[in-house]
Structure 1
Amino acid sequence: MSKHDQRLTNIFKHQTKRICSLEFSSKKEINYEALEDLKMSFCSVIWIGNYDKPPDEIEPLIAAGELIKRGYPTVLHFAARNNNKKSVVKNLEYAKQIGVRNLLVMRGASPECQMEVKKYDFPYTVDLIKFIKNKYGDYFDLCVPGYPYKHPESKDLAEDMKYLKTKVFRTMQVLNS
């Protein structure tokens, strides 16, 4: 894997064959020897749970840092509902230090996220994207997820597609502003 430019934008521009990624849970050990034989375009590290501890002790950041140090382009999942403004800045400043350039920004829906929407600093994905874009400009490549079938909170696939299109459209507006 090339260490020179690990932004998703460049991977998508320069990849001539298929694009393949591997998703890792920071809660499980990564077999780095096995990774060497795999032909992947990038790795993705999921953000599970709340982390009220220093960034260098947060498992997803540790896993992302190790993958980057070994030369693997890495996308860090980053949940809005598991962060407030202070923790976003603290965690993203550390993410910059360890070489993270790509974020998959999502609302998040872990069991710890049971407060009323109005009590979150970032009730929706696009709120966190606006904050990151305002604070960090174009430093991070930002992307958003969609459910492969339908979001559990949507009544049907049509409603889910409406919300996904709105999320993507609003994200594109923020990123292009």
Structure 2
Amino acid sequence: MLGALETLYPDARTELEFRTPFELLVATVLSAQATDVSVNAATPALFAAYPDAQAMSAAQPEDIEPFIRRIGLFRGKARNLAALARLLVERHGGEVPNDFGAVVALPGAGRKTANVVLSNAFGYPAIAVDTHVGRLARRLALSVQTNPDKVEADLQKLFPRGRWVFLHHALILHGRRVCAARNPACGACVMADFCPKVGVE
């Protein structure tokens, strides 16, 4: 399975666009229940106005809202961004910490966000379980769990630690491009021969 994914997506990586760990953190918080496309459309103007935690920490949520209005749950996300920027300045000198617990403690940043940020910004071995990863894990009989934390634990047991980051990016891409939630393109899937097709959604 890993070999098939490596053949299909040799350069798999996050589709969120970022230049710094702070930009990745912000983009990941915004991506909850939203598409990467919508986030990438909003962040250039947002980052031009607030290029770092220091700049964003001075903003009120209503200052941030116009930049992210087209993203789902934008009011709550604006509150979280203003609050997390202040905490980054107060607790971490304005820098995103290379520490799982510290990232999880930030407003709007749960386990998935921490895994995305630490793996992509700092090379931390992690599997971030979003809806695509969870769906494919169940369809491919890698996990029967619906809780993302339990799916993550199951995948970590099955795949080598050094390939965790690649795995979660490849599964996301495969979930978007081939193994869709509805009408998966099984006939065009490189894993069709060993997919049990017993997903529990």
- Please indicate, yes or no, whether the TM-score normalized by the shorter chain is above 0.5: no
**Structure with higher helix content:** 2
**Structure with higher strand content:** 1
Query: What TM-score, normalized to structure 1?
Result: 0.29
Q: Please say which structure displays the higher CA radius of gyration.
A: 2
Query: What TM-score, normalized to structure 2?
Result: 0.27
